[in-house]
A and B are shown apart, each in its own frame.
Chain A
Amino acid sequence: MSATPSPVVSAGRLLVKYGGNPKPTLEEISFSVPRGSVYALLGRNGAGKSSLVRCLLGQQKPTSGGCFLFGEDVWKRRASLMAKIGVVPEDPDAPPSMTARQLSAFCAKLYPTWDAPSVEARLARFGVPAGTPYGSLSKGQRALVSLALALASSPELLVLDDPTLGLDAVARRAFFEELVGELADRGTTVLLTSHDLAGVESMATRVGFLKDGRLVLDEDLETLKGRFRRLRYANEQTEERAEYGQELAAFDAVRVKVRGWGVEAIVSNYGDESFARFTALEGVMDAESSSLSLEEIFIAIAGETPGRNA
């Protein structure tokens, strides 16, 4: 028998409230990130992603509940745990007067293993000047410097808090290419929040959706994409019906729209057998299913309440 490896990241009944706001920013969130996985934490602005990341990094104490990295309480053991973690923050936070080279030299004094040449090499690859003060770099360049610094200590966990926010397409591509290369080389565990869902989709293995402070979804990306599908079909009785989508009950339709040609639905519980039975229903004609992008799933979950747009 082999023991189940402890998750790299875990949170238990995490509650975050800010004074004066009766509604919690995070409502008893519990989740975990297995070793080697790439966990994408998604949610609209204000969903609580950054609060969750700060708690997970031991920078903010939750109102209740706990956050653990490598099985240790991060609030209590932050300093030692950070030696195993690389962080790329949402907002560039390095001292603006320091150059990338100086930042690397500063970090070299803190980490037991620090690969300063790798920083120089990555910056050269990114085309970011190593001798320019951090505050004088563009936002994209600052993100790339942060990534180079985050990777230089060969971290076991990378935490990327919406690192490509505000970056142009070129910088975004460079960022994700570097990240994918790093993952391929080392199998580093990654916790990622991002608005760049296309980029996330290319590398995430597991996805969590935060909505109004609650984790409404937490599963493997493949499973997610397997059960979220778009169904299109015609229905002879369309014009006479007062309600639509009753025949979709087995699929847990998230969104149903009536088009001129028939019905289009986003379902969250797709299965081949269910679909076969669906196609056999009276009045259902020309039914077809297609897969959804992560962005489409995100919009379906985060955007509107299921069924309301019928």
Chain B
Amino acid sequence: MRFIFKTGYRQDIDIFKHDGQRFWYGLLVIAALVAPLFLDTFYLGELALVGIYAIAGIGLMLLVGYTGLVSLGHAAFLAIGGYAHAILMTSGLPFPISLILASALCAFIGAIVGLPAMRMTGIYLAIATLAFAFIVEHTIAHLEPLTGGFRGMPVPRPTLLGFDMGATIPFYYICLLLLTTSVVGALNLLRGPTGRAMISIRDSEISAQSIGINLARTKSVAFAISAGFTGLAGGLFAHNLGYLSPDAFTILTSIQLLLMVVVGGLGSLHGVIFGAIFIVLLPQGLAILRDWLPPSVGQLPGLEPGLFGLILVLFLIYEPLGIYGRWRKIRDFFETFPLYRKATHKRQRSYLRTERVR
């Protein structure tokens, strides 16, 4: 068990709580940097995909895990980011500028979509974002001159200062760089006033409001930031796909993103990374499972979404804090051995009262 003796106020908001963390995260960064020396291109591609999902997941986590607002339509931001980036690059803008613009566009649209969030509680917002996602999907499909409709549109290869960045290794480094930037950005956001306001809204809107937090502003800022991150991931995702079509951004994608943050662990950035790894590994695991299962079961077309659903349900019932929550329990068990008590992590239940009058 480690006790941190705090000698200054700044220690409360330090990114690294102690030297152990500095060491391990430093090691992780080094491992990620030298990974291309040891891994072959398939695994590097998968790692880049983990990075992309993780960036989108950070966006969603800031919204769902830290502000307590549920979005069922984040695939829409992924789609807008991807299409905007592809269209801007086709019109001749350089890769980094186009990526930033696509992300900014998403943030702007996110702020607008977040408007109903100011007045509405969770369920309504979830539905509003779901409706928004459907509208975006259909608009993309019917906006042929710009997006190519159902035929789809090709994504130009990313270039930086004349170099082709589309190959696996440079693309991996781009994803890694952007992921690291996003993680640090999110960490800084969360220890600053905006992030703390977001967390207080999640914990209790009433008490947040009574200590002077502007609910409407904070919620729409949270929405904008979340959409911005997801849009950034969308731009990268477009390069990963190579060819955009509306059926890459359906409700299933939105649910997949939510599955990622739930399985990873709500309310932690570690959870995002765990969730992203899980999401990328799942299809591979499924491919192995398919060979192993009898063909009558293994070849069912709906197996993957069904399995998604099953995993989601099992996690929510048995481990609502996800992989990260489980990891914390295991760590606490060893840190406090032999004094670990199960009740430490017992969840508090709250009984609902409605605001309905009739």
A binds B: no
A positions within 8 Å CB-CB of B: none
B positions within 8 Å CB-CB of A: none
